[in-house]
Amino acid sequence: MTPAPTKTAVVTGASRGIGRAVASRLARDGFVVVVNYAGNAAKAEEVVREIKSAGAQAVAVQADIANAAQVERLFTAAERAFGAIGVVVNSAGIMKMLPLATAAEEDFDATFATNVRGAFNVLKQAATRVRDGGRIITLSSSTVAMSLPNYGPYAASKAAVEVLTRTLANELRGRQITVNAVAPGATATELFFDGKSTEQIDHFTKLAPLERLGSPEDIANVVAFLVGPDGGWVNGQVLRTNGGYV
């Protein structure tokens, strides 16, 4: 029987969007939550206040996941605040719309620094600091399966995240830790809306047979399943969570 995960969760990128929804959902499910943020302390503290007002426990910890030393400090702070870590959800990421013909090298490097090196840093710490029976979740993207114009560097970075995720699932053999990726489709967050025209948003809204954008809560529900008692037999998988368009 798979051991129940410790009820301490670290959620990166938890000050807004999907990460915020995940932090709130896990708190409702009985986890104590470490709300990680890169730069917006006010937003992170807002999340903490909301969680505490609902009767749960949370603390905000700053760390840029692209920086290995800061990620190590994040995990140390989590352990000091709440003890052994049972769940890690790496939600932090950036998305730049970059046509390959005109993309700047600096934008490409920034995308990979946060999305790939950041995931590597978080998974590296999680591999040794999540206790046996725990759960590790990364956030990928359904754009990996679509080859959409302007999404090349972003989708490539998320493809790398999927490889790292599956690899870690195999490397943790024998410890009863599951490692999975959730790959949202178009989701109504600031990250999605930034830089898109009304026409583009309408196009993505109608892609799925369900004919709507996903919500951050839709994605948080899938994460909650994977880290909950019913998700223990799902391991090394990428769950495309997009309403059915790919």
Domain-by-domain residue ranges, the chain? 8-241
Determine phi and psi for 194, rounding to 5 degrees.
-60, 120
Q: List CB contacts of 102: < 8 A, sequence separation 6 or more.
A: none
CATH 3.40.50.720 given to domain 8-241? yes
According to the model, what pLDDT value does residue 4 have? 47
Let me know if 245 is a catalytic residue. Answer: no
Q: Tokens 């019913």 appear where?
A: 230
d(CA 184, CA 20): 15
Residue 137's DSSP bridge partners are: 89, 180
Ranges under pLDDT 70 in the chain? 1-6
Selected catalytic residue, list 37, 151, 154, 245? 154
What residues contact 11, with CB distance under 8 A and at least 6 apart? 19, 22, 23, 26, 33, 34, 35, 36, 88, 89, 91
Q: What is the pLDDT of residue 1?
A: 44
